[in-house]
Structure formats: structure tokens, C-alpha cells
């Protein structure tokens, strides 16, 4: 059994949530998982509706919603889970949180089984591999749960909330063209070549530059398995193999933290290579402040917990949204902005229409 504690973040939490998160949950990742809950137990579910086997309950019933955190060691995931927990009382739900410190799909599926067995009303997951998760999602839906995938876009969950992957590639390309030039030579680092949302982001970037910035090119695409140490090694090798690379695009969150080591080992100084980060984890912020990372694309879906719980509640109350996919915007943050950045503003978050 291993436990994880709240990792330090260098970005500032919005004032409305900062005080609440001081008392955030310390979740145990073990087998079986030991969930933490806030609030009272959920009321029993009622009859099965015709919409996706969701078991409806009377409007206003306090629901039990599980947040299954696939990467508790990553600050943005941890902050998102804490935000979910802090909103439980005002949102009228019981927040149950479990997770794993490293990517462990089978353990996360086991945690989803616990949610089903507990009579949960909804679960929030990130199905990094929809094929592996498919049977579990169907199992939860047949049991009457509302399944929302967060950060991992699919078409098999009740609702999918995550980065607009096509837009990601476009925003990244436009930012590079503006700051580096339309003839930039780019190296890309992602988790692997199979994680669907990352592959779509990379392919979107390639297609967009081919159309809008034909002089911009991708010289290399390497994979780091979401490990900063691996990203540093790949970054050094990438620059050695392609000395013309003047831009590195990080498509996963541990890559930016590798920039100081990876670039230094390649004989580079801060600012020699334009690095596009992702999210605002502490090491990313530090690398930006030190000049190793030039800009970061903050994924606002990490802050979309109010939207997600509203989707679950609407479905459980018999008024489900007809929109399955909810693409969430990105917020580019420069070095000049990072020291005072408080996260994606609520104005960038979509909301359900008032009933």
C-alpha cells in the first residue's frame, strides 16, 4: 500500500477555493482503494429511465459522485480533484475520491467497480485507453450510473469533457508562428503514439501547419511515457539528432519539467529553444520563471468540475443534456503572466442552460 499527499503547486488557487482546499482529502491508493467522502450518503436510486439506463431520482436528491484520479502525483489532477471535493456542499453531492499515483488502468477499473458496488450515482474517470475501459463503462451505465470522462475524450461515456483536441493543435501552431516564426522547426514529445487525445492533438497540429504554415515543419516526435526523466533524455537526443529544431511542443504534462535538464544537456541556455508547455504544474511554472519554458497552454477542463457534476445531476434528475461531447478551451499563459496566474477563469467554462 502506498499513500500520496497533496503535492505543492506554484500556481495560485482562486480565492473562492483556496481556503477550502487547505482541508483537502488525503487519498490512499491501494488494493482495495480506500475512498474519502464528504457529506452524507446518497439517497437510493429510483426507476431506470429510457435514457442510457440512468436510474433517475427526484430532483434535488443528494447524489454520491466518485472522482477516480488516474495520476494523483500530477498537481493539476490533484487540484482538480480537490476542487471537486471542495464544491460538494454547495453542489449538493457527496464527493468520494480515489486514485493512483501512476497510470494504472486496471487499478482504476477496480476502483470503478467499487463505485458501482457502493451504489454510486456517477463516476468521473479518464479512460486513457477507451478500448480497455469500454466494458467497464458499459457495466457502470447498465448499473444506472452516469459516466463522465474528464480529460480523455471519447464517444462511449454518457458525457465527455476535455480539451478540444483539434483546437489544441491550432492554438499551439498559432502561438509558435507568432513567437518563433512561420518557418519554425518543431520537435514533439507526448506520452506515446497511442493515447487517443494526444494523437489527435499532434495530428491536428500537423494538418493545421500544412495548411496555414507550410514552411513550419515537424522534425521529430518522441515519447516519454509521462516521465520527466525520460522526457529529458528524449529532448537531449532529439536536439542532437536534429540541430535545426528551434521549438519543442510538449503534449503531456511532465515534459515541460524536463526542459531545464534536457536542454542543458544538449548545450542550450534558457531561451535558445522555444518550449511550449502544457498546464501549470509547479515544475512547469518554475521552468517558465527560469526561462526554459516560453509559454504554457493551460487546459481548462481541469477546472470543469462544476460542469461535470451538473451534467451528472441533470441526467439523474431526468433532464439529461443531449450534448455528449464538451470541448473545453485552452488558455495560453506567457512567462510574463505566470507569476500572478490563478488558473482558468470561470468565464471560460461552459455551463448548462437553466431549466
DSSP codes joined into one string, 241-274 = H-TT--EEEE-STTTGGGHHHHHHHTT--TTSSE
Grid cell digits, residue 135 = 466494458
Confidence of residue 52 (pLDDT cuts 50, 70, 90): low
Q: What is the CA angle 310-45-146, rounded to 5?
A: 40
Residue 350 included in any domain = no
Residue 353 included in any domain = no
Parent domain of 19 = 2-162+300-329
Kindly report the CATH number assigned to the domain that includes residue 13. Answer: 3.40.50.2300
Helix (H) or strand (E) holding 18: helix 15-21
User: Inter-axis angle of helices 130-142 and 105-117, to 10 degrees?
Assistant: 0
Residue 135 to residue 50: CA distance in whole angstroms: 20
Do 187 and 146 share a structural domain?
A: no
Do 169 and 155 share a structural domain?
A: no
Residue 217 to residue 13: CA distance in whole angstroms: 37
Do 116 and 54 share a structural domain?
A: yes
- Cβ-in-10-Å burial (0-12, 13-18, 19+) of 208 comes to buried
Do 155 and 169 share a structural domain?
A: no
Residue 148 to residue 156: CA distance in whole angstroms: 10
Grid cell digits, residue 353 = 442552460
Contact 102, 132 (CB under 8 A): no
Looking at residue 298, its pLDDT comes to 93
Residue 355 included in any domain = no
Q: What is the pLDDT of residues 183-197, one digit of tens each?
A: 999 999 999 999 888
pLDDT at 49 over 50: no
Do 115 and 22 share a structural domain?
A: yes
What pTM, to 2 d.p., does this model score?
0.71
Do 105 and 84 share a structural domain?
A: yes
Do 103 and 6 share a structural domain?
A: yes
Highest average pLDDT, of 10-19, 92-101, 121-130, 328-337, comes from 92-101
Do 133 and 42 share a structural domain?
A: yes
Residue 94 burial (CB count, 10 A): 20
Rg of the chain taking only CA atoms, in angstroms: 20
Name, in order, each residue with C-beta under 8 angstroms of 211's C-beta and a sequence gap of 6 or more. none
State the total domains in the chain.
Answer: 2
- Return the C-alpha torsion angle 343, 169, 154, 110, nearest 10: -60
Do 232 and 222 share a structural domain?
A: yes
Q: What is the pLDDT of residues 152-166, one digit of tens each?
A: 888 999 999 998 888
Grid cell digits, residue 90 = 454547495
Amino acid at each position: 500500500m502506498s499513500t500520496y499527499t497533496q503535492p505543492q503547486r506554484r500556481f495560485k488557487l482562486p480565492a473562492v477555493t483556496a481556503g477550502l482546499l487547505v482541508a483537502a482529502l488525503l487519498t490512499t491508493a491501494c488494493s482495495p482503494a480506500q475512498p474519502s467522502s464528504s457529506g452524507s450518503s446518497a439517497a437510493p436510486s429510483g426507476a431506470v429511465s429510457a435514457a442510457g439506463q440512468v436510474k433517475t431520482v427526484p430532483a434535488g436528491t443528494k447524489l454520491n459522485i466518485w472522482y477516480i484520479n488516474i495520476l494523483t502525483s500530477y498537481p493539476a489532477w490533484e487540484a482538480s480533484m480537490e476542487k471537486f471535493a471542495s464544491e460538494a456542499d454547495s453542489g449538493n453531492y457527496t464527493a468520494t475520491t480515489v486514485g493512483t499515483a501512476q497510470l494504472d488502468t486496471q487499478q482504476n477499473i477496480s476502483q470503478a467497480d467499487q463505485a458501482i458496488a457502493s451504489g454510486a450515482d456517477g463516476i468521473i474517470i479518464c479512460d486513457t485507453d477507451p478500448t480497455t475501459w469500454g466494458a467497464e463503462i458499459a457495466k457502470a451505465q447498465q448499473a444506472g450510473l452516469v459516466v463522465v470522462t474528464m480529460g480523455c475524450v471519447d464517444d462511449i461515456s454518457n458525457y465527455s469533457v476535455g480539451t478540444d483536441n483539434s483546437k489544441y493543435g491550432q492554438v499551439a501552431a498559432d502561438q509558435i508562428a507568432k513567437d518563433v516564426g512561420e518557418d519554425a522547426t518543431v520537435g514533439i514529445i507526448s506520452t506515446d503514439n497511442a493515447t487517443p487525445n494526444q494523437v489527435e492533438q499532434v495530428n491536428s497540429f500537423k494538418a493545421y501547419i500544412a495548411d496555414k504554415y507550410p514552411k513550419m515543419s515537424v522534425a521529430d516526435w518522441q515519447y516519454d511515457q509521462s516521465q520527466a526523466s525520460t522526457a529529458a533524455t528524449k529532448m537531449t537526443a532529439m536536439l542532437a539528432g536534429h540541430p535545426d529544431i528551434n521549438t519543442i511542443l510538449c503534449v503531456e504534462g511532465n515534459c515541460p519539467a524536463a526542459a531545464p535538464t534536457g536542454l542543458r544537456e544538449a548545450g542550450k541556455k534558457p531561451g535558445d529553444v522555444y518550449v511550449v508547455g502544457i498546464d501549470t504544474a509547479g515544475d512547469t511554472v518554475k521552468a517558465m520563471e527560469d526561462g526554459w519554458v516560453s509559454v504554457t497552454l493551460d487546459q481548462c477542463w481541469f477546472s470543469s468540475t462544476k460542469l461535470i457534476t451538473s451534467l451528472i445531476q441533470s441526467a439523474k434528475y431526468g433532464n439529461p443534456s443531449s450534448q455528449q461531447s464538451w470541448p473545453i478551451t485552452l488558455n495560453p499563459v506567457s512567462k510574463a503572466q505566470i507569476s500572478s496566474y490563478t488558473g482558468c477563469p470561470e468565464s471560460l467554462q461552459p455551463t448548462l442552460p437553466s431549466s
